[in-house]
Structure 1
């Protein structure tokens, strides 16, 4: 009878640890991506030039603001 309890506690602790680890890792990655966005203004300018567009500073700021708003909404 005590062996069953040991196994149940071990399985419960394993499940709780996996769930807790997942949420901690998710929170860490969300904060990391908010502080270090994957695309910056220079990358955006290069991308627009490769697509054949002449990027203005106003257009780049507008696109960055739009991407930041999308990140905040998620």
Structure 2
């Protein structure tokens, strides 16, 4: 009786932990393949804000964002 409940609880906890790590790994590989922002998006955002984007400024902002995310 108690062993069945204990096995069920252990299996539930193992499933939750395994699901968390699988989901985390999937999201990390997804974000590596599809970064949330790229140079074109940054250029469009700067133009919408009324700034004239130069390639130097775009490169500086991209390197700052990459440094912040740990790439």
Normalising by structure 1, report the TM-score.
0.85
Which ranges in structure 2 are unaligned for 5 or more consecutive residues?
A: none
The runs of at least 4 consecutive aligned structure 1 residues that moved more than 4 Å come to none
Root mean square deviation, CA, Å: 1.3
Give yes or no for the alignment of 1:67 onto 2:68.
Answer: no
Which ranges in structure 1 are unaligned for 5 or more consecutive residues?
A: none
Does structure 2 conserve the Cα–Cα contact (< 8 Å) formed by 1:34 and 1:71?
no
Provide the residue aligned with 1:28 in structure 2: 26
Provide the residue aligned with 1:44 in structure 2: 42
Does structure 2 conserve the Cα–Cα contact (< 8 Å) formed by 1:41 and 1:60?
yes
Normalising by structure 2, report the TM-score.
0.88
Deviates more, 1:59-68 or 1:27-36: 27-36
